[in-house]
Structure 1
Amino acid sequence: MNRKKFISSLFTAGALSIAAPVWAESGAAVRKKHRIKVPGYLKEGDLIGITSPAGYISREEVAPSVALMESWGFQVKIGDSVGRRDHTYGGTDAERRDDLQRMLDDDEVKAIMCARGGYGLVRIVDELDFSHFKKVPKWLIGFSDVTVLHGHIHNNLGVATIHSKMCNSFPSNWQTATPIQISTILSIRDALMGTKMQYSAARALSNRLGTAEGVLVGGNLSIIETLAGTASDLNTYGKILFLEDTGEELYSLDRMFWNLKRTGKLANLAGLVVGGFKLKAEGAGSGFGKSIYEIVMEKVEEYNYPICFDFPVGHQVNNFALRCGTKHRLEVRVDGSGLVSI
C-alpha cells in the first residue's frame, strides 16, 4: 500500500489535537491551579538520553532506536542503566535511580527516552529529585510502567510529557518495517519537534458523540489504579483521560474501572478515550459476561462527556505518541468515528 495514501486514510475517520500551554485544574479535591510547562521542542543537533528505569534491556536491543534517532539529526547518549541487570530490572534500584537522576540534571540532555517498560519505577520515584527538572524541564518519553512518571510529573510539576513507544519497539530493520510501524515511530519525532498532530479512531458502536477540549492525561490503567492516594496520583478533573492496558482479565478491568469511578476520576472529565485493551485469556468456565465496552459504559452512564473507543494507543502496534499535559480537542462524530488533535 502506498505509504502516503495510508497515512492520509488513517486520519480521515476522527481526530485528537494539541494546543498551546493553558491553565488547568490540577485536582478534584484540592483544585489548585498551576501553569502547564511545555519543554522546548527539539531541533537538529539536540541530545536525547536513553535510560532504563524499569526493566532490563541490552545495548544491542537499543541500537536500532539509536541509529534511527541519529538519522533524524539528533545526538543520543546511552545511560549506564542500559545493559545493567539485577534480575528483571535494568540494574539495582540505586543504579536505575542514579542514572535517571543524571539525565534529569544534565542540561545538555533535551529529552529522556525510557528504553522499555516492565516494572520498577514505583520503587524509585519517591527518591528522585525533580528540583532542577522543574526549573529546566525536558521531555520524558515512554509508556506502560512509565505511567508512574507521567502521573508524578503532571501532579507535582505540571510539566508536559510524551506517552509513546520506547526503544524496544523500534523495528530492527527500518527498510522492512510496516506502514503502521513507520507512522507510529515517526510520531515520536513529530511530538518531540512540536509538529501539530491529529489521530483518528474508526467507528465504534459504543462511542458517545460530542466534542471536548481539555488537557490530555492518562496511560496504563493498572498503573493508574496503584497510584491512587499517592504523591503520583493522576489528577483528572476537567481533563481528557486516555486509558490502555494489556494482559488483564475482564473481571480485573471491571475492578479497576470501579476504582476510577469510586475515586472520582471519571466524574468530572471533559472526555474519555479508551485505547487498546489486550485481554488475558480467561480460565475455563470463568467467563465474565461483559465486554470492555460494557464495562466502561456501565461506569460512565451518569456522565455526559464524549467517549471514544478503540483509539490507537496502548500495548499494540498502532501506539501513537501523545503529548500528555497539553490541551487537546476530542471529536466523536455522527458516523461514530473519533478524532483527537493537538
Structure 2
Amino acid sequence: MNRKRFISSLVTAGAALSTSGSWATTAEIPDAKAHHKIPPYLQPGDTIGIVSPSGYMSLADIIPSVQLMQSWGFKVEIGDNAGKKDFIYGGTDEERAADLQQMLDNPEIKAIMCARGGYGLVRIIDRLNFRQFKKKPKWIIGFSDITALHCHINRNFGIATLHSKMCNSFPDDRAKADPMQVATIQSIRQALTGESLNYSSPACLQNRPGKAGAPLVGGNLSLITTLSGTPSDLDTDGKILFVEDTHEYLYNIDRMFWNLEQSGKLSRLAGLIIGGFQLKPDIEGEEFGHTIYDIVTEKVKEYTYPVCFDFPVGHQKNNFALKCGVHHTFEVNTEGSTLYES
C-alpha cells in the first residue's frame, strides 16, 4: 500500500475537528530568571512533525491529532517511521532514532509532537545529534517517557520544551469530548502560539505556603530518577520542580523520592509541585502504610520552599501543557496554588 496515500485518505475521510473553547515567603532564586532559550512560537502555516520515539501507535490512531492541528492553522508532517511496530516499540531503535533525527534536523519543522509515551527513549537518546537543533531550536512536545527528552535538552542545551498530552490523547470526535479534554488539548495550542499559561489547584491540607520565581522543570518521576547520574540527569538547582507518575506501588514512589533527596535534587529547589499519581493498590498483607502526602512531606521537611499537591499534570484527564525551562511564578497559600509564566 502507498503509505502517503493511505495517510491522506485517513485525514480526508473524517470530518474536520473544530477548536472552540479556551481555555508566601517570596524567594527569587539568583540567576533563575535566565537563561533558557525559548524556541520560536508557531505562526499559521508552520509545520508540526509527528514521531513515535517510544511506544507503538497506529497511523489510524494518529489521524485525529493531525486533523485538529490542521484546523488550528498548522501543517502536519508524519514521520516515515510512524505506524511501524517492533513489539512494544514504535519501530526498531535504529528506525526511531533516524526518524526523530530527521525531524530535529529539518529546518521546515517548527515543532515535534511525540505520538505517545510508553518506553524506548532512553534506548536512543545517546544516538541523537542535537547540533542543528541547537542552532535552530524547535518545540519538543510530550510527556511520560518523553521526559527523557525534556531532561536531556534542559540539562545539556538550556532550551525550553513543552510537557503536554500527545497524539494518543486527542479526541476521536471533538463533538463528544468533555470540557476538560478540550481545555487540556487547547492548552497545547495556546502554549505553541505564545500565550502565557496560568494554572491553579485547590487548597490541600498538606500544602506548604510560600512564593517563588524560577524556571520550571520536571516530568515523570520514574524517568527523572532513572536518568540520575547520566548525561541526561535533570538539573533542579534553583528550579521549580514538578513530578508525576502512574502504575507504581507506594513503596516504589518512596524509593524514588529517596533518590531525589539523596542525589541532592530536593535540597536547592525554589518550589515543588506534586502532580497526579495513579497508584497501584497495595498487595494484601504487604500494605506500605504511608500516603503520597506522607512520602513527600518526610523528604522535604528540612527545607522551606513552597510545596503543593494534586496539581493538574500527569497521567490523568486534567493534564495541562507546561513550558519546561520557562520562568514561572509559583505561589501556595490557604486558598490553593497558582503557577504562571513571569
Question: TM-score, normalised to structure 2's length?
Answer: 0.90
Distance in 1 (CA, whole Å) between partners of 2:266 and 2:278 is: 22
1:66 pairs with 2:66:
yes
Aligned equivalent of 2:218: 218
Aligned equivalent of 1:280: 280
Aligned equivalent of 1:118: 118
Q: Shift of residue 80 of structure 1? A: 1.4
Distance in 2 (CA, whole Å) between partners of 1:95 and 1:255 is: 34
Distance in 1 (CA, whole Å) between partners of 2:282 and 2:206 is: 23
| Matched-pair contact (CA < 8 Å) for 2:147–2:224 | yes
1:197-237 Cα shifts (integer Å, max 9, x gaps): 10111111100011111000000001101000000000000
Distance in 1 (CA, whole Å) between partners of 2:172 and 2:82 is: 17
Over 3 Å counting, the alpha-carbon distance change for 1:187 and 1:160 in structure 2 is same
Q: Shift of residue 196 of structure 1? A: 1.0
1:146 pairs with 2:151:
no
Higher relative contact order (CA 8 A, sep 6+): 1
Distance in 1 (CA, whole Å) between partners of 2:104 and 2:56 is: 20
Q: Secondary structure at the match of 2:187?
A: helix
Distance in 1 (CA, whole Å) between partners of 2:82 and 2:237 is: 37
Aligned residue type for 1:124: I
Q: Secondary structure at the match of 2:313?
A: coil
Aligned equivalent of 2:186: 186
Aligned equivalent of 1:339: 338
1:237 pairs with 2:237:
yes
Aligned equivalent of 2:303: 303
Over 3 Å counting, the alpha-carbon distance change for 1:327 and 1:152 in structure 2 is same
Write out aligned runs for 1:13-32 (5 A): 24=32
Aligned equivalent of 1:39: 39
Aligned equivalent of 1:102: 102
| Matched-pair contact (CA < 8 Å) for 1:152–1:233 | yes
Aligned equivalent of 1:175: 175
| Matched-pair contact (CA < 8 Å) for 1:41–1:192 | yes
| Matched-pair contact (CA < 8 Å) for 1:23–1:36 | no
Distance in 2 (CA, whole Å) between partners of 1:72 and 1:162 is: 17
Distance in 2 (CA, whole Å) between partners of 1:198 and 1:23 is: 23
| Matched-pair contact (CA < 8 Å) for 1:153–1:159 | yes
| Matched-pair contact (CA < 8 Å) for 2:32–2:213 | no
1:76 pairs with 2:86:
no
Q: Shift of residue 23 of structure 1? A: 5.0
Q: Secondary structure at the match of 1:331?
A: strand
Distance in 1 (CA, whole Å) between partners of 2:90 and 2:144 is: 16
Aligned residue type for 1:341: Y
Question: TM-score, normalised to structure 1's length?
Answer: 0.90
Aligned equivalent of 1:196: 196
Distance in 1 (CA, whole Å) between partners of 2:86 and 2:219 is: 26
1:91-136 Cα shifts (integer Å, max 9, x gaps): 0000000000000000000000000000000000001000110010
How many residues align? The count is 316
Distance in 2 (CA, whole Å) between partners of 1:193 and 1:211 is: 27
The unaligned stretches of length 5 or more in structure 1 are 8-21, 26-33
Worse-superposed segment, 281-290 or 225-234:
281-290
Q: Secondary structure at the match of 2:330?
A: strand
1:231-256 Cα shifts (integer Å, max 9, x gaps): 00000000000000000000000000
| Matched-pair contact (CA < 8 Å) for 1:159–1:325 | yes
Identity between Structure 1 and Structure 2 (%): 59
Q: Secondary structure at the match of 2:320?
A: coil
1:286-335 Cα shifts (integer Å, max 9, x gaps): 11111000100000000000001100000000000000001000010222
Distance in 1 (CA, whole Å) between partners of 2:32 and 2:121 is: 26
Distance in 2 (CA, whole Å) between partners of 1:112 and 1:154 is: 16
Distance in 2 (CA, whole Å) between partners of 1:193 and 1:298 is: 40
Aligned equivalent of 1:157: 157
Instruction: State the 4+ residue runs in structure 1 displaced beyond 3 angstroms.
Output: 22-25
Q: Secondary structure at the match of 1:304?
A: coil
| Matched-pair contact (CA < 8 Å) for 1:24–1:36 | no
Q: Shift of residue 283 of structure 1? A: 1.0
> RMSD over aligned Cα, in angstroms?
1.4
Aligned equivalent of 2:325: 325
Distance in 2 (CA, whole Å) between partners of 1:82 and 1:282 is: 37
